[in-house]
Chain A
Amino acid sequence: MPLRRQRRALATLGSAVLLLTGCGGLSDDEVGRLAEKFAGGDAGVRCDLLAPATLATLVDEEATACEVAIDDVPLGSGDLMSVAVWGEEAQAKLSDDTLFLTRTSAGWRVMAAACRPQGPDQPYDCQLEGS
């Protein structure tokens, strides 16, 4: 098969996979940038990047403003290691933390943070999450 046809066939197959999986490379970049901003930001920045449900849960449980409550959460601030985006949800692994993000009308937001793995096939234990 000529090279041009091979490339066209691969592009078609790749597009089909992207369509079926609802994935897009642009989202990976957006999530990565947001995760780095969250990891390197102060309490105010981090609170702005929380998903509404997570923000509400934090404020309700700690009975104080987010900027005060979030300082008590052992959040990581390390380098971004990897990003995985699947539909409306994403995961960003930092060198010292794992974040779970969700897509909102305002863009990607952090749904859960300070997450530690519990073993294979087990969900992460997250100290900051929405209820």
Chain B
Amino acid sequence: MSGVRWVKDNSLSLGFGVLFVVTLVGQAFSGAAAFNADRISEGLEQISLLRYVTSSSFAVDMMENWQSEYLQFFLYVFATVWLIQRGSAESKEPEKTGIETDREQKVGTYAGEDSPPSVRADDWRTTLFSRSLGLLMGALFLLTWASSSVAGWAAFNNEQLGSYSDPVSWVAYLGQADFWNRSFQNWQSEMLAVGSMAIFTVYLRQRGSPESKPVGAPHHATGQTG
């Protein structure tokens, strides 16, 4: 495969990969500026960009967003197995709720020659592979949520000391409003985004996008994309 063809075939992940790096760099610079503005107002010295991106403040700002994104996809992947939104491009058709038949899912005797090896094996690997997307999203959510709790704990204690208060333990931090405020403020936006997409795609279109129904598709048609 030529390089140009490879880039074209992977343009979606590459494009968002570049956007991720660009926006993360933007977050680093703007976060450092905001952090240092606070330090100056408190009569403290500014810190370098390198010191900021290795600080708990930067880490918690990053992790609290990552954990909510993975929670969103974890819930979305599982919820759409059983929950439907009639007319939505984001939903299955009502008669297909549940994990569907082996024939529909092309497993067991219905697996094709080009099905992934784990499917053709037709054993525990198939069972695991059948749930691998949700399991990975769930694992990444738990990992990043744990990471955000650790980074948030450190950032919280940094602020505690800056305001002449005692630092707290990690367990005590899990009971602090700061931890739950960070979690819930991120979670609410993710749930809003999924819910919005589910209902918007009933009535609105984006020609050419697989996230939208075809422009001429009726509002009551469910699960059509493109």
Cβ of A94 under 8 Å from chain B: no
Cβ of A70 under 8 Å from chain B: no
Q: Which residue of B lies closest to A93 (CB)?
A: B166
Contacts of A112 in B (CB 8 A): 164
- The reply to whether B154 and A90 form a contact with Cβ atoms under 8 Å apart is no
Stretch of B3-11, B39-47, B71-79, B192-200 at the chain-chain interface: B39-47
- The reply to whether B151 and A90 form a contact with Cβ atoms under 8 Å apart is no
Q: Interface size of B by Cβ–Cβ distance < 8 Å? A: 27
- The reply to whether B44 and A86 form a contact with Cβ atoms under 8 Å apart is no
Q: Interface size of A by Cβ–Cβ distance < 8 Å? A: 35
- The reply to whether B167 and A86 form a contact with Cβ atoms under 8 Å apart is yes
Interface residues in A92-131 by Cβ distance below 8 A to B read 100, 102-105, 111-112, 115, 117, 121-124, 126, 129-131
Q: Which residue of B lies closest to A124 (CB)?
A: B164
- The reply to whether B150 and A87 form a contact with Cβ atoms under 8 Å apart is no
Q: Which of A17, A54, A89, A130 contacts B161 (CB 8 A)?
A: A89
Contacts of B147 in A (CB 8 A): 16, 20
- The reply to whether A91 and B167 form a contact with Cβ atoms under 8 Å apart is yes
Contacts of A115 in B (CB 8 A): 164
Stretch of B52-60, B88-96, B118-126 at the chain-chain interface: B52-60
- How far is it, in angstroms, between the C-alpha of A52 and the C-alpha of B42 when the chains are bound? 12
Smallest CB separation, A54 vs chain B (Å): 8
Q: Which of B43, B154, B163 contacts A131 (CB 8 A)?
A: B43
Cβ of B70 under 8 Å from chain A: no
- The reply to whether A88 and B150 form a contact with Cβ atoms under 8 Å apart is no
Interface residues in B131-188 by Cβ distance below 8 A to A read 147, 150-151, 153-155, 157-158, 160-167
Cβ of A40 under 8 Å from chain B: no
Smallest CB separation, A104 vs chain B (Å): 5
Number of A-B contacts (CB under 8 A): 83
- The reply to whether B166 and A88 form a contact with Cβ atoms under 8 Å apart is no
Q: Which of B44, B47, B59, B164 contacts A123 (CB 8 A)?
A: B164
Contacts of A126 in B (CB 8 A): 164
Cβ of A84 under 8 Å from chain B: yes
- The reply to whether A17 and B150 form a contact with Cβ atoms under 8 Å apart is yes
Smallest CB separation, B176 vs chain A (Å): 10
Q: Which residue of A lies closest to B39 (CB)?
A: A88
Cβ of B32 under 8 Å from chain A: no
Cβ of B63 under 8 Å from chain A: yes
Contacts of B45 in A (CB 8 A): 52, 102-105
Cβ of A22 under 8 Å from chain B: yes
Q: Which of B63, B158, B160, B163 contacts A88 (CB 8 A)?
A: B158
Q: Which of A21, A91, A104 contacts B150 (CB 8 A)?
A: A21
Given A20-B63, A22-B54, A22-B59, decide whether A86 and B157 contact each other with a Cβ distance below 8 A.
yes
Q: Which 5 A-B pairs have the closest CB atoms?
A: A53-B43, A21-B154, A89-B161, A87-B158, A86-B157
- What are 15 residue pairs bridging A and B, where the CB atoms are less than 8 Å apart in the complex? A20-B147, A20-B154, A21-B59, A21-B153, A22-B154, A22-B158, A51-B43, A84-B161, A86-B160, A87-B55, A88-B47, A89-B158, A126-B164, A129-B164, A131-B43
Q: B residues near A, CB below 8 A? A: 39, 43-45, 47, 54-57, 59, 63, 147, 150-151, 153-155, 157-158, 160-167
